[in-house]
């Protein structure tokens, strides 16, 4: 099961109490106050971990509490500080305040740390309050409570290229052809039920990542189908590959192209305006060449690059991948923002040299 959204509750450790104590030793008749301070409560830290690819471990373990500070002791001994609590999340996780829907932190790199809740302050012992006029204070201070919050975690996959299109447009076949990812492939709609990542290895340590999400249908932005749940995973991509089935399947490729773009715009106008490459798929099963030309003409109207491929025979695939690689490298060079800030379990990651 792929889990990309969950809530957790975090609590910083309580601070330890100070203590009221007096020094009592032989030959020291007036030892004075010796109560130590309480230890500070531990903090809760959220840390990005690239070895994780889902929020499943947090779905079944939503409560995270840091250790409390120990109480102070006599002889001016302070209590130990509480242990910090570490919450590990996949790279690409965003943390929101669920009450205000406010983005608090975005984990974009492995190892990033963010203190989500502070521990409570330790209380002072009576030795802390001794003065020249109050040499034997008989009171101490209790420790304070740690911060407590409820947080909404949302995972957005980090990929360079996103695949969009109708169900059975050939997205899963394409990603299995160009990478080592092995998503389920079948001849019925909604075969893909969760996002997949494919790593394209171009040699010389040059790679880029493609994200495949479940197919979109008309009305997806209203919750129809599955793809709307996972569109957030292509929000960070530099460009989109819009795959359109041009085989003699009974569907109109131009109409499919327009419907998907309307759904993208209804979901997020910035996503619809992202650089998009139109890809006609399944040309090995094409009986009417005018279907390809009609789609090519429609893509030209939107000033978008057009490719025609067959993932089965690999016709046109090499040319498409090399063009996409150049575009990705250009985006990386200019450091263009891949996505804007905010407005379910196995994530399959494949890598392998195919070119």
SS3 of 169-189: the string is CCHHHHHHHHCCCCCCCCCCC
The predicted pLDDT at position 251 comes to 80
Kindly report, residue by residue over 202-241, the tens digit of the pLDDT.
777 678 888 887 767 665 555 555 555 677 778 888 899 9
For residue 146, give the 3-state DSSP assignment.
coil
pTM above threshold 0.75:
no
The average pLDDT across 130-156 equals 93
Helices (H) and strands (E) in the chain, counts: 7, 15
The predicted pLDDT at position 247 comes to 85
The predicted pLDDT at position 234 comes to 80
Q: Is the pLDDT of residue 245 over 80?
A: yes
The predicted pLDDT at position 183 comes to 56
Q: Would you say 283 and 174 are in contact if contact means Cβ atoms under 8 Å apart? A: no
> 194: how many CB neighbours lie within 10 A of its CB?
23
Kindly report, residue by residue over 338-352, the tens digit of the pLDDT.
444 444 333 333 444
16 or 24: which leads in pLDDT: 16
Kindly report, residue by residue over 165-195, the tens digit of the pLDDT.
888 888 888 888 888 666 555 454 444 556 7
Fold entry, domain 1-155: Spo0b-associated Gtp-binding Protein; Chain: A, (2.70.210)
Domain boundaries, the chain: 1-155, 161-353
The predicted pLDDT at position 257 comes to 92
d(CA 318, CA 310): 11
Poorest-pLDDT segment among 9-13, 50-54, 296-300: 50-54
Q: Is the pLDDT of residue 79 over 70?
A: yes
* CATH 2.40.370.10, applies to 161-353: no
For residue 72, give the 3-state DSSP assignment.
coil
CA distances from 111 to 87, 150, 330 (A): 12, 23, 26
**Residue 144: pLDDT band by 50, 70, 90 thresholds?**
very high
Average confidence score pLDDT of the chain? 84
The predicted pLDDT at position 29 comes to 78
The predicted pLDDT at position 193 comes to 53
**Residue 31: pLDDT band by 50, 70, 90 thresholds?**
confident
Poorest-pLDDT segment among 13-17, 41-45, 318-322, 346-350: 346-350
């Amino acid at each position: 099961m792929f889990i990309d959204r969950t809530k957790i509750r975090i609590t910083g450790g309580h601070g330890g109490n100070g203590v009221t104590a007096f020094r009592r030793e032989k030959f020291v008749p007036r030892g004075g106050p010796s109560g130590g301070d309480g230890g500070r409560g531990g903090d809760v830290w959220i840390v990005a971990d690239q070895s994780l690819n889902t929020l499943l471990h947090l779905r079944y373990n939503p409560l995270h509490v840091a250790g409390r500070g120990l109480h102070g002791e006599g002889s001016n001994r302070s209590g130990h500080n509480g242990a910090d609590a570490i919450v590990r999340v996949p790279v690409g996780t965003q943390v929101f305040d669920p009450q205000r829907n406010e983005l608090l932190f975005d984990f974009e790199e492995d190892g990033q740390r963010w203190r989500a809740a502070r521990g409570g302050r330790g209380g002072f012992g009576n030795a802390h309050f001794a003065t020249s006029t109050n040499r034997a204070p008989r009171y101490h201070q209790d420790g304070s409570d740690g911060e407590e919050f409820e947080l909404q975690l949302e995972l957005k996959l980090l990929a360079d290229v996103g695949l969009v299109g109708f169900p059975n447009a050939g997205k899963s076949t394409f990603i299995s052809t160009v990478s080592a990812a092995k998503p389920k492939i079948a001849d019925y709609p909604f075969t893909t039920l969760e996002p997949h990542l494919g790593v394209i290895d171009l040699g010389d340590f040059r790679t880029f990542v493609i994200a495949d999400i479940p197919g979109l249908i008309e009305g997806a932005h209203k919750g129809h189908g599955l793809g709307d749940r996972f569109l957030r995973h292509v929000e960070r991509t530099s460009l989109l590959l819009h795959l359109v089935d041009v085989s003699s399947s009974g569907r109109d490729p131009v109409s499919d192209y327009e419907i998907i773009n309307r759904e993208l715009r209804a979901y997020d106008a910035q996503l619809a305006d992202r650089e998009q490459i139109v890809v006609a798929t399944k040309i090995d099963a094409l009986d009417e060449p005018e279907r390809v030309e009609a789609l090519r003409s429609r893509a030209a109207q939107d000033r978008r690059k057009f490719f025609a491929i067959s993932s089965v025979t690999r016709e046109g695939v090499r040319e498409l991948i090399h063009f996409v690689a150049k575009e990705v490298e250009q985006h990386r060079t200019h450091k263009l923002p891949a996505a804007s800030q905010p407005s379910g379990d196995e994530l399959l990651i494949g890598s392998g040299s195919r070119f």
